[in-house]
Structure 1
Amino acid sequence: MVFACQENSFLKEFKTTVSSCKKSQIKTLVNQKQTILSGYDVVFDDTILFPEGGGQPCDLGKLQFLTDGNECEIPVIRVSRRGSEAIHFIETEIKEGQSVKQVLNWERRFDHMQQHSGQHLITAVADKSFGCATLSWWLGEDISYIELDTPEFNNINELEKIVNDYILAATPVIVNVYEADNDELKKVRTRGLPDDHRGPVRVISIEGVDNNMCCGTHVSNLNQLQCIKVIKVEKGNKGHSLLYFLSGSRVLNQMGKMMQREQALTSILKNSPLVHAELVDKLQKSTKTTSKYLQALLKDLAVLEAAKIKQIVPKPTHYALHRKEGDSDFMNTLIREINDQDILLFLTVGEEKSCGNMVLYGKPEFVEALGPKICALLEGKGAGKGSKFQAKVRNLSTKEKASELIESYFKK
Structure 2
Amino acid sequence: MDWERRFDHMQQHSGQHLISAIAEQMFGFKTTSWELGRQRSVIELDTPSVTAEQVEALERSVNEKIRDRVPVTVRELAADDPEVETVRSRGLPDDHVGPVRVVDIKDIDSNLCCGTHVSNLSDLQVIKLLGVEKGKKNKTNLVFLAGNRVLKSIEQSHNTEKGTCGAVHDHVEAVKRLQSSVKLLQKNNLNLLRDIAVLIARDFKSKPAPKQLFVLHRKEGDSEFMNIIANEIGTEETLLFLTVGDEKEAGLFLLAGPVEAVENLGPRVAELLGGKGARKRGRFQGKAAKMSRRGEVQALLQEFISHQSPGA
Q: TM-score range by the shorter chain?
A: 0.5 to 0.7
Give the SS at the match of 1:264: helix
Q: Deviations over 1:243-275 (max 9, x none)?
A: 3221111111112112223333453xxxx6346
Distance 2:149 2:136 in 1: 27
CA contact (8 A) 2:41 2:144 kept: yes
Q: Which residue of 2 aligns with 1:220?
A: 119
Could you tell me which amino acid in structure 1 is paired with residue 168 of structure 2?
P
Q: Which residue of 1 aligns with 2:264?
A: none
- Give the residue type in structure 1 aligned to 2:194: D
Q: Compared with structure 1, are the counterparts of its residues 283 and 189 closer, same or farther at alpha carbon in structure 2 (3 Å cutoff)?
A: farther
1:218-367 alignment runs, 5 A limit: 218-234=117-133, 236=135, 240-267=139-166, 273-274=168-169, 276=171, 278-279=172-173, 282=176, 286=180, 289-290=183-184, 293-294=187-188, 296-314=190-208, 327-329=220-222, 333=226, 337=230
Counting matched residue pairs gives 248
Greater shift, 207-216 or 289-298, is seen at: 289-298
Deviation for aligned residue 1:186: 0.5
Over aligned residue pairs, what C-alpha RMSD do you find? 4.5
- Flag the structure with larger Rg: 2
Q: Distance in 2 between matches of 1:290 and 1:251?
A: 40
> Larger % of strand: which?
1
Q: What is the deviation of 1:142?
A: 1.3
TM-score by length of structure 2 reads 0.61
Give the aligned residue type for 1:385: R
Q: For residues 158 and 70 of structure 2, what CA distance do their matches in structure 1 show? A: 31
Per-residue deviation, residues 99-144 of structure 1 (Å, max 9, x unmatched) = xxxxxx3332221221111011011111123433223323222112
Aligned to 1:139: 36
Q: Which has the higher helix share?
A: 2
Residue identity in the other structure for 1:293: K
Q: Which runs of 5+ in 2 are unaligned?
A: 247-289, 298-312
Helix, strand or coil at the partner of 2:75 = strand
**Where do residues 372-391 of structure 1 align in structure 2 (5 Å cutoff)?**
384-387=292-295
Confirm whether residue 184 of structure 1 aligns to residue 83 of structure 2.
Answer: yes
C-alpha contact (below 8 Å) 2:165/2:175 kept by paired residues: no
Structure 2: distance between partners of 1:219 and 1:243 = 21
Deviates more, 1:164-173 or 1:201-210: 164-173
1:28-47 equivalence runs, <5 A: none
Q: Give the counterpart letter for 2:6 in structure 1.
A: R
Contact 1:150 1:239 in 2 (8 A): yes
Report the TM-score when normalising by structure 1. Answer: 0.48
Q: Deviations over 1:277-335 (max 9, x none)?
A: x4466457546644663564354234313312312324589x9x999xx7153898389
Kindly provide the amino acid, as one letter, of the partner of residue 329 in structure 1: D
Mapping 1:194-205, distance limit 5 Å? 198-200=96-98, 201-205=100-104
Aligned to 2:304: none
Q: Distance in 2 between matches of 1:205 and 1:348?
A: 64
Mapped pair 1:122 → 2:19:
yes
Indicate conservation of the 8 Å contact 1:298/1:330, yes or no: no
Once the two structures are superposed, what CA deviation does each residue of 1:200-245 show, in whole Å capped at 9, x if it has no partner? 4332211221011223332232222222122334555666443322
For structure 1, the 5+ residue unaligned runs are: 1-11, 13-104, 350-381, 390-412
